[in-house]
Amino acid sequence: MQGFLLGLSTGAVCLAYCAPTLVPYLLGEGKGIRQSGVILCQFLGGRLCGYLIFAVVAWALNQFVIIPNVDYESLLGLVYIVLAMALAFYGLRNNSAPCAGRSFNASVNRILGRWPALMAVSLGFFTGLNLCPAFLLALASACELNNLSQSLLFFFSFFLGTTLYFIPAPLLGAFKGLPTLRIIGKMAAVITAIYYLYTGIIMFVGGMNFL
Amino acid sequence: MSNGLMNRVLPAPAAFQPLKALLCTIPMLLLSAMMLSHGSFPTEPLQRIALGLTYIFCNGLFFLMLYTGKVHRYRSVFFITAAFAFIISFGANLLEVRGSMVLNEANIIDGDTPFCHLVIPMVIIPAALTKTIIFPGTLLNRFASIAGMVVLWLGASVALGRGWCSWVCFYGGLDEGFSRLCKKPVISDIDTKWTYLPWAVLLGIVLTSALTLSPTYCEWLCPFKTVTEFGAITSFKTLIQTVIFVTLFLALVVVLPIITGRRIQCGLFCPFAAFQSVTNKFNIFDIRIDREKCVDCNRCSKGCPTFSLDEASIREGKTLLSCTKCGKCVDICPRQAIRFHIKGTSVSASAESARLLFLYPAFIFATAVGGGMVYGAMVRVLKLVTTGSMF
């Protein structure tokens, strides 16, 4: 219950953190409301996976008391970089112009053709690994729990609380009649990718200290 | 299209007789006197001279617009002058008040940052969610306060729609100025997909501003930081920001406008421009094409500085949503098929009245904003010439 309430009270912040990834993706796909709902579920599924990984981390932190010598900032920087690359790839992948990455493009397109949900799930997953302020609150609360199942349950209920804020997102599908929005969504995905890439590189090289 | 059709160019667009043009300029003479003087005549001789020159400059251009019927030609002179005057007067003001054009942390904490209209799209969502304006400016009283700029923008948006971008915006004149340097563009074929980029930038900055609760366009992408107010380079972050600002300024405001002959920053990048396009939906003025006169020569679409005309829109007899009502298409149409128009009236109705009715509010806002800048810059320049110092 505590996790759910925390999710409810901080969900708007979670939405603000996920929106730069989710909104361009939904617009870029250009699907109707129902299909956008399906995409949202895939995205949230990936995000839940990210949350549950943190549930395990929170439990482990509690168990081992001594925090292992892991450079979390670099790790998160790496997550940002991967997220940026996924977003940039999404924004540019259907570009038919000849380029050096064409064979890579084709092979990834084959994989995405087989598992179309993979892109939404992976974007959700890497977004779920972000340390937004709401998430830090949840992590701090979960660290006080003693067993793994409690920690998992806490994060799951936190996820449910925040998810309520995402319910209106499929309404973007109402604009599917505007084909230009697909182009705009993909361009915005590339712009957001540049932002995340910069943030990721700075975090990865530990540059935040001198920013 | 056959040469015969092209050769049947009609005479110059609807021009007024000198007396009629003069009579129609009288309201502007009165209004501009009020706006430029703020109700009191300056006491210093230099200020008097500057005020007089600005007054003649503004009203002379308005008269010429009416007399010759060439709206774009004289608007452009005003618009470019106002943009360069803005840089002179704004920079000089900053130097006088702060001693530097550099924005430091103390200025930010004091809320001493002048608010510009480009910030407006970024503050809306955070203001709605947190009841906070995510900009280090002041709401009232000081120079370029948030409330003052928002009220000005609201008024101009209602009156002009995206006409703001060709009549009021004090940055647009820079890339317009550079776009007019090269008579024959080196690059003329630009993929129309790029016209969606301002919307993508708008989406990106609105979402990231809501995420970071800071105006990300101002922090990372505004090319005009190069010539106005910029952050002191005290860290790796500010170094990167400065490199981005300068690169974008040189690319979007100087080089690309010169080689394309178009307003690249305004037409292909500015997120505020995309945001402002929406106001064209509820503004009563637009530009229409009389299909009976149009011979599909496409001069208008090739000449439009902000990519607001394409073959499809010409076939429909109207401009795209991004039209800034600069009047260039009206000026260059060899058949006078393009005209200022009031929504709800017939396209073949009097173009003269619609043009006049648009020009009054457009020039009032232009004089209120740009006229003040020209006056300010002129005072500084005259001081520099006569005393050797701008202050």
- Note the pLDDT tens digit of each residue in B336-372: 999 999 998 888 777 888 999 999 999 999 999 999 9
Determine contact: A208 vs chain B, CB below 8 A: no
Is the pLDDT at B143 greater than 80? The verdict is no
Structure confidence at residue B2 as a pLDDT band (50, 70, 90)? very low
Smallest Cα distance from A108 to chain B, Å: 25
Closest-CA residue of A relative to B199 is: A184
Closest-CA residue of A relative to B211 is: A16
Q: Which residue has the tokens 């149009």?
A: B294
Q: How many CA atoms lie within 13 A of A79 on its CB side?
A: 17
Q: What backbone phi and psi angles, to 5 degrees, belong to B16?
A: -90, 155
Closest CA to B318 of B348, B347, B283: B347
Rounded CA separation A159/A150 (Å): 14
Is the pLDDT at B9 greater than 60? The verdict is no
Closest-CA residue of B relative to A132 is: B211
Predicted confidence at residue A95, as pLDDT, reads 56
Neighbours of B90 (CB within 10 A): 22
Per CB-CB distance under 8 Å, the chain B contacts of A192 are: 204, 207-208
Determine contact: A200 vs chain B, CB below 8 A: no
Amino acid at B236: F
Contact B199 A191 (CB under 8 A): no
Contact A12 B203 (CB under 8 A): no
Least confident of A7-11, B25-29, B66-70, B140-144: B140-144
Query: Smallest Cβ distance to B208: which of A183, A192, A207?
Result: A192
Determine contact: A63 vs chain B, CB below 8 A: no
Domains of chain A: which residue ranges? 2-210
Contact B216 A195 (CB under 8 A): yes
Smallest Cα distance from B216 to chain A, Å: 10
Determine contact: B312 vs chain A, CB below 8 A: no
Burial A33-64 (b: 16+ CB within 10 A, else e): eeebbebbbbbbebbbebbbebbebbbebbee
Rounded CA separation B81/B59 (Å): 14
Query: Smallest Cβ distance to A23: which of B193, B196, B207?
Result: B207
Q: What is the CA radius of gyration of chain A?
A: 18
3-state DSSP assignment of residue A46: helix
Smallest Cα distance from B81 to chain A, Å: 33
Determine contact: A115 vs chain B, CB below 8 A: no
Least confident of A118-132, B15-29, B197-211, B271-285: A118-132
Contact A16 B193 (CB under 8 A): no
Per CB-CB distance under 8 Å, the chain A contacts of B236 are: 202, 207, 210-211
Interface predicted TM-score (ipTM) of this complex, two decimals: 0.84
Determine contact: B129 vs chain A, CB below 8 A: yes
Contact A184 B201 (CB under 8 A): no
Per CB-CB distance under 8 Å, the chain B contacts of A131 are: none
The two beta strands, B285-289 and B230-231, are unpaired
Which position has the higher pLDDT, A100 or B37? Answer: B37
Closest CA to B365 of B171, B174, B177, B166: B166
Mean pLDDT, each 10-residue run in order, chain A (211 residues): 82 87 92 93 93 82 63 78 89 64 69 82 87 74 76 87 91 87 92 89 67 43
Closest-CA residue of B relative to A21 is: B207
Rounded CA separation B115/A141 (Å): 40
The two beta strands, B338-342 and B285-289, are antiparallel
Cα B48 from chain centroid? 27
Predicted confidence at residue B105, as pLDDT, reads 75
Average pLDDT, chain B: 90
Q: How many CA atoms lie within 13 A of B351 on its CB side?
A: 21
Determine contact: A30 vs chain B, CB below 8 A: no
Query: Smallest Cβ distance to A20: which of B129, B208, B240?
Result: B208
Q: How long a stretch of residues is chain B?
A: 391
Domains of chain B: which residue ranges? 14-387
Determine contact: B207 vs chain A, CB below 8 A: yes
Contact A192 B197 (CB under 8 A): no
Closest-CA residue of B relative to A17 is: B211
Rounded CA separation A152/B233 (Å): 45
Q: Which residue has the tokens 């005549």?
A: B41
Rounded CA separation B256/B272 (Å): 19
Smallest Cα distance from B109 to chain A, Å: 18
